[in-house]
Amino acid sequence: MTTALDRYFHISERGSSIGTEIRAGVVTFFAMAYIILLNPLILGTGADSAGTTLGVSRVAAVTAFTAGILTIAFGLIAKYPFGIAAGLGLNTLIAATAVAGEGLTWEQAMGLVVIEGIIIVLLAISGFRTLVFEAIPQSMKAAMSVGIGAFIAIIGFVGGGFVTRVPDAAGTTVPVSLGIGGSIATWPTVVFIVGLLLCGVLVVRNVPGGLFIGIVTATVLALIIEAVLHLGPASADNPGGWGMAIPAAPDGFGTIPDLSLIGNVDPFGAFVQIGAVSASLLVFTLLLANFFDAMGTMTGLGTQAGLTDETGVLPDMKKALIVEGIGAVVGGAASASSNTVYADSAAGIGDGARTGLANVTTGLLFIAAMFFTPLYEIVPLEAASPVLVIVGAMMMSGVRQIDWSNFHNALPAFLTIMVMPFTYSIANGIGVGFITFTLMYFVAGRAKDIHWIMWVVSALFVVFFAADPIMAAVG
């Protein structure tokens, strides 16, 4: 059995072990588990034009269900350790633009996600998505990987309370701040700092499972602090509280998940409600964001895990892209929003994950989380976030692959790296980088070195960034 498992997932071939894969899969789960709490807050609380609300508990159930099923499927079929769950930027686009902005019902909005997913799958089956991967210059692939590292790190800093957003009402030119009002002297942030330093020490000392040990230790510290001080959730009146999950010992298990949202979709209602042009633009926006968010994430994770070839492309990429594309279809059909590969999977890769067995572990924990709600509420975001910062630091090594001596290479790479964390979007960073790359190479007299796909994709990103005024113009 062990030998068959090893052969199927190529565990020894990739320099890993069954124990390492299982442990790292647990690390990935706790790095991603916040989506079970956050996705319901984005999708489950707002009413649509018909007055319908999806409901927090129902969205939480389908979020965990789709993440579990798709993560396991990706592990079994693509055999890579890349977790899949509801995409954060994509769910916000659905809630804020499609439902709140365009007045669609939740069923109509999720129908657009299904259509977008079908197109993604067809593009993957045709080989076009793989062709795009291969057309991207090596310097831009390196920049994408480094940018994702920076993006992961900022997620960790914000999740740990080390960096906070300054409200616009403050009237300051500084968009973010150190801690709360310049102070990091809150107990949840102390947990983050202790976890960060401990993970750093364990990595330096090459301790096997160092990141897993760091999460467990930080969680135990958080449990003790909450038991003694009763900090509660963070709010305007309690800025020193926990950012999301409140660390506490489980008080019960056996929750029956409500999966009644599965199948509540209307694929064509949006075209009737807001017109074919506006609905098509929404599908295009979802498509481009999902297409390149997944592409950039796979590139970064594959590079970090040492699984890409000399051109920066994952072997058997087509199979992985098809499964990832199905994530959008399944996510939309379940009203969980488009599911995609998660950059947070870098946490498990940093702890040794190299095969799909880690994904199977992560997926099983997502499935278990539907029934055992406290499973993902025990570990606060502040205890899991240090791992993301550590992994972000690991991914910075890719800057050595970028030719900084020529500005037509340096500027696109720099913008790709910087825009990802500052806009909280992998797709935005790729889009800005691609457009700049094409323009810089053209003015440098090197138009012949620009692959025709880069011209096409750059033009599509121009439309992507202008989507709002275009939609306003067409009514």
Q: Which residues lie below 8 Å from residue 55, measured CB to CB, with a gap of 6+?
A: 40, 44, 258
Residue 473 has pLDDT above 60, yes or no: yes
Query: What 3-state class would DSSP assign to 167?
Result: coil
Query: What's the pLDDT tens digit per position in 460-469?
Result: 999 888 877 8
Q: Given the structure tokens 């409500």, which residue do they identify? A: 258
Q: What are the start-end ranges of the E strands in 223-373? A: 339-341
Q: Cα–Cα distance between 115 and 105 in angstroms, integer? A: 16
Q: Given the structure tokens 């939309």, which residue do they identify? A: 332
Residue 291 has pLDDT above 80, yes or no: yes
Confidence of residue 170 (pLDDT cuts 50, 70, 90): low
Looking at 10-19, 108-117, 248-257, which range is the least confident one? 248-257
State the pLDDT at residue 415. 97
State the pLDDT at residue 167. 76
State the pLDDT at residue 305. 92
**Alpha carbon distances (Å) from 217 to 220, 383, 429:** 5, 8, 34
Q: Which residues lie below 8 Å from residue 209, measured CB to CB, with a gap of 6+?
A: 20, 23, 351, 352
Query: What 3-state class would DSSP assign to 245?
Result: coil
Q: Cα–Cα distance between 253 and 120 in angstroms, integer? A: 38
In a domain, 154, yes or no: yes
Domain span at residue 364 reads: 4-249+266-474
Is residue 353 classed exposed, middle or buried when 0-12, 13-18 and 19+ CB atoms within 10 A define those classes? buried
Query: What's the pLDDT tens digit per position in 413-459?
Result: 999 999 999 998 888 999 999 999 999 999 999 999 999 999 999 99
State the pLDDT at residue 373. 62
Looking at 108-112, 175-179, 298-302, 389-393, which range is the least confident one? 175-179
Is residue 421 classed exposed, middle or buried when 0-12, 13-18 and 19+ CB atoms within 10 A define those classes? buried
Quick one: average pLDDT of 62-75? 97
Confidence of residue 253 (pLDDT cuts 50, 70, 90): low
Looking at 303-312, 335-344, 383-392, which range is the least confident one? 303-312
pTM for the structure as a whole: 0.85
Q: Which residues lie below 8 Å from residue 168, measured CB to CB, with a gap of 6+?
A: none
In a domain, 183, yes or no: yes
Query: What's the pLDDT tens digit per position in 193-230?
Result: 999 999 999 999 988 888 889 989 999 999 999 999 99
Confidence of residue 26 (pLDDT cuts 50, 70, 90): very high
Q: Cα–Cα distance between 211 and 353 in angstroms, integer? A: 12
Looking at 87-96, 134-143, 265-274, which range is the least confident one? 87-96
In a domain, 149, yes or no: yes
State the pLDDT at residue 359. 97
Taken in order 362, 366, 372, 373, the sign of the CA dihedral is positive
In a domain, 131, yes or no: yes
Percentage, residues of the chain above pLDDT 70: 96
In a domain, 259, yes or no: no
Mean model confidence pLDDT for the chain = 90
Q: What is the largest CA-CA distance in the chain?
A: 67
State the pLDDT at residue 277. 84
In a domain, 305, yes or no: yes
Residue 1 has pLDDT above 60, yes or no: no
Helices (H), 230-275: 269-273
Residue 297 has pLDDT above 80, yes or no: yes
Quick one: average pLDDT of 130-142? 89
**Alpha carbon distances (Å) from 401 to 289, 309, 312, 389:** 26, 14, 11, 21
Residue 252 has which token pair? 């019960």
What are the contacts of 16-19 at 24+ separation with CB within 8 A?
Answer: 16/352, 16/353, 16/354, 16/355, 18/357
In a domain, 261, yes or no: no
Q: At what angle do helices 276-305 and 106-126 cross, to 10 degrees?
A: 60
Residue 402 has which token pair? 């970028």
Residue 245 has pLDDT above 70, yes or no: yes
Residue 164 has pLDDT above 80, yes or no: yes
Quick one: average pLDDT of 338-342? 95
Confidence of residue 378 (pLDDT cuts 50, 70, 90): confident
The tally of domains found in the chain comes to 1
In a domain, 258, yes or no: no
Q: State how beta strands 163-165 and 176-178 pair.
A: antiparallel
Q: Which residues lie below 8 Å from residue 313, measured CB to CB, with a gap of 6+?
A: 130, 133, 134
> Burial code of 422-459, b = ≥16 C-beta within 10 A, e = fewer?
eebbbbbbbbbbbbbbbebbeeeeeeeebeebbeebbe
